[in-house]
């Protein structure tokens, strides 16, 4: 099985998010970048499916040279080779087109992505890649098993789940539950240095969406504390003051 | 020209979010002086379809066939894109639900349309300029996004736009979308839905428990409070990681993002990753025995104390309030 895993380079989950240049740019000063947590799940699933020589894993990242530590981390975790599309990943449509353009000639059986990146939270790329390659896509998968060229996928739906059967090839956005994230071991870290990391040029894509300004949520007022012995007072406040019950 | 809105149904019934997207799309349609066309796929009664007129749908396209009874991503996207072309829709609105998230990018790619997901406000439309506000950085910020394509797709977050009645005479029209054979590659084998449970992403009230609950055997107090409030239940990540609760209940940066009217956090510390997914809740109540718990910094109301004492008392007080 030939698996492509898409890796996004995102700010660490503990990052305090600030903006610069009149709130038009994300401020990367002091920010640590990591493999997007959902992509770690995708990669771990790919490793699980390929174990014992059953498959090969290519990771792809659309990003400038500064993302290479993130790509090396994916190689150290267990991918066989990596591709970096040398460009600033300006929006989901751009990224999806680069991935689809690369995948077009490679006959991957499976394209795994994280359900969303924790920076722009689009949940777009899996569906866009599926459509661009004219293959099925599942945007939020909670469980995946593969047999006889078919994927059985548990998908989250409102108030429950749905089990679907989909022929390969397919693009799947993975969520928590699909696999336990793995961490690189020393052998992985050593071997990652010698694994191939190919750099390719981006194709031109029209820009359909552009972030023009960022805002941060309005700060909340101070907390109103209620004595533990008077829990019923909370009910009263929620009813009369906050008007939410 | 028109504005097109896709309305999702569950077993033939429209959910609250369907009326939210219709109200939202109607407000846009009026601001640009266009008709609102709604499209519904699957087996929905005429009475339910006509109901959309109450919220402003001028025309309701209905598509039904045996193979469209359950949600098939590719086929649905194909039909909606065809409807958009027929109706010359320049703005397409759907709900940013689990299904909507699968559908929106496929529609956008078919139409080469710019897509804004996680939308929380009406767009600002000024001549050629089209800007809309969406959540970013897992709720730690918002991104004002300009869509520059001829056709625009907007996926609206649940609970971010109020339902508005705006009754019009609605016409129901059968629409013959023609998805291709290969659009039906995915086959739905089974659907498991807990009918008595309130859907977490759409819930108006969420009662959430963390590691402070000590174990799955103690979840009864969370469920009782949720039941009294008509709320959905949720949990922090370590709770679902430990298997105390299903992953579908995990909220936060790497879980479900929620924005209910009321979020009650019980025995949850308020780590930055947890806050990321819940901080857009309108009112936050925190119950924690540690007065230094970071969650108190973002809470509107707080009780410092032991959850095992407080929660049952609170449930009793809610039930008494309901009876009064
Ligand atoms: C990459 C990454 C992603 C993450 N994503 C998420 C996410 O999406 N969602 C998420 O929730 N977390 C996430 N986390 C984990 C997060 O950092 C915290 O570890 C987690 O939120 C803590 O959960 P908790 O508050 O339930 O547990 P704890 O931190 O153990 O806190 C338990 C709280 O319960 C209180 N308590 C204990 N006993 C009682 C009692 N009897 N009565 C009242 N209060 C009591 C304690 O005072 C404490 O504040 C993520 C972490 C990482 C590294």
* The pair of three-digit structure tokens given for residue A6, joined into one six-digit string: 């898409």
d(CA B101, CA B106): 9
For residue range B203-230, list pLDDT tens digits in order.
999 999 999 999 999 999 999 999 999 9
Nearest to A118 among B253, B296, B310 (CB): B253
Q: Which among A130, A165, A177 is the nearest to B247, CB-wise? A: A177
Give B-chain residues touching A131 at CB under 8 angstroms: 77, 105-106, 109-110
- Specify the pTM: 0.96
Distance (angstroms) between ligand 1 centre and the Cα of B237 equals 7
Cα–Cα distance, A167 to A52 (Å, whole number): 23
Q: Is residue B178 over pLDDT 90?
A: no
Contact B303 A38 (CB under 8 A): no
SS3 readout for B71-105: CCHHHHHHHHHHHHHHCCEEEEEEECCHHHHHHHH
Q: CA-CA distances (angstroms) from residue A59 to A143, A160, A196?
A: 21, 32, 11
Task: State the pLDDT at residue B194.
Answer: 80
Supply B250's token pair: 């995990």
Tens of pLDDT, residues B46-72:
999 999 999 999 999 999 999 999 899
Cα separations in angstroms, A188 against A41, A96, A192, B93: 17, 28, 6, 46
- What does the alpha-carbon distance between residue A245 and residue A178 come to, in Å, rounded to a whole number? 37
Distance (Å) from the alpha carbon of B30 to chain A's nearest alpha carbon: 24
ipTM: 0.96
Ligand 1: residue of B288, B295, B306, B314 to mutate (most ligand atoms within 8 A of CB) is: B288
Nearest atom in ligand 1 to B211's CA: 26
A65-94 pLDDT, tens digit per residue, is 999 999 999 999 999 999 999 999 999 999
User: Which of A123, A126, A223 is the closest to B302 by Cβ?
Assistant: A223
């Amino acid at each position: 099985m030939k698996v492509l895993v898409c890796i996004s380079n995102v700010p660490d989950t503990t990052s305090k998010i600030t903006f610069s240049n009149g709130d038009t740019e994300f401020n990367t000063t002091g920010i640590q970048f990591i493999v997007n947590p959902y992509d770690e799940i995708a990669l771990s699933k790919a490793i699980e499916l390929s174990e014992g020589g059953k498959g090969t894993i290519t990771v792809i990242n659309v990003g400038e040279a500064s993302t290479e530590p993130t790509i090396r981390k994916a190689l150290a975790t267990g991918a066989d080779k990596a591709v970096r599309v040398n460009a600033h990943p300006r929006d989901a449509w751009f990224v999806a087109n680069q991935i689809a353009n690369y995948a077009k000639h490679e006959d991957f059986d499976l394209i795994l992505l994280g359900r969303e990146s924790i920076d722009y939270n689009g949940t777009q790329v899996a569906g866009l890649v599926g459509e661009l390659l004219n293959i099925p896509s599942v945007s939020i998968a909670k469980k995946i098993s593969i047999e006889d060229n078919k994927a059985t996928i548990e998908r989250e739906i409102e108030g429950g789940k749905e089990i679907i059967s989909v022929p390969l090839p397919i693009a799947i956005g993975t969520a928590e539950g699909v696999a336990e994230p793995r961490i690189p071991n020393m052998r992985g870290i050593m071997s990652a240095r010698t694994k191939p990391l190919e750099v390719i040029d981006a194709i031109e894509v029209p820009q359909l969406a552009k972030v023009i300004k960022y805002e941060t949520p309005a700060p909340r007022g101070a907390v109103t504390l209620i004595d533990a012995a008077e829990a019923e007072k909370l009910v009263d406040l929620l009813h009369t003051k906050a008007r939410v019950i | 020209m028109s504005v097109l809105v896709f309305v999702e149904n569950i077993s033939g019934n429209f959910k609250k979010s369907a009326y939210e997207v219709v109200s939202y799309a109607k407000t846009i349609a009026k601001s640009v002086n266009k008709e609102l066309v709604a499209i519904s796929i699957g087996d929905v009664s005429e009475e339910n379809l006509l109901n959309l007129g109450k919220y402003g749908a001028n025309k309701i396209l209905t598509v039904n066939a045996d193979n469209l009874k359950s949600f098939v991503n590719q086929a649905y996207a194909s039909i909606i894109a065809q409807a958009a072309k027929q109706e010359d829709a320049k703005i397409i609105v759907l709900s940013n639900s689990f299904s909507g998230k699968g559908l929106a990018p496929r529609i956008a790619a078919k139409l080469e349309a710019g897509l804004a997901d996680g939308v929380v406000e009406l767009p600002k439309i000024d001549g050629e300029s089209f800007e809309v506000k969406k959540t970013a950085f897992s709720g730690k910020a918002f991104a004002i996004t300009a869509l520059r394509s001829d056709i625009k797709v907007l996926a609206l977050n649940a609970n971010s736009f109020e339902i508005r009645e705006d009754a019009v005479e609605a016409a129901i029209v059968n629409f013959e979308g023609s998805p291709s054979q290969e659009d039906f590659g995915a086959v739905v084998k089974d659907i498991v839905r807990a009918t008595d449970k309130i859907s977490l992403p759409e819930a108006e009230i969420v009662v959430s428990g963390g590691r402070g609950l000590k174990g799955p055997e103690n979840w009864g107090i969370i469920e009782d409070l949720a039941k009294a409030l008509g709320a959905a239940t949720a949990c922090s990540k370590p709770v679902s990681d430990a298997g105390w609760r299903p992953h579908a209940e995990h909220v936060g940066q790497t879980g479900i993002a929620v924005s209910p009217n009321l979020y009650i956090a019980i025995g949850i510390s308020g780590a930055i990753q947890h806050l990321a997914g819940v901080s857009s809740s309108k009112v936050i109540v925190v119950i924690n025995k540690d007065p230094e718990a970071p969650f108190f910094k973002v809470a509107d109301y707080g009780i410092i104390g032991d959850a095992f004492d407080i929660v049952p008392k609170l449930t009793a007080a809610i039930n008494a309030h309901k009876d009064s």
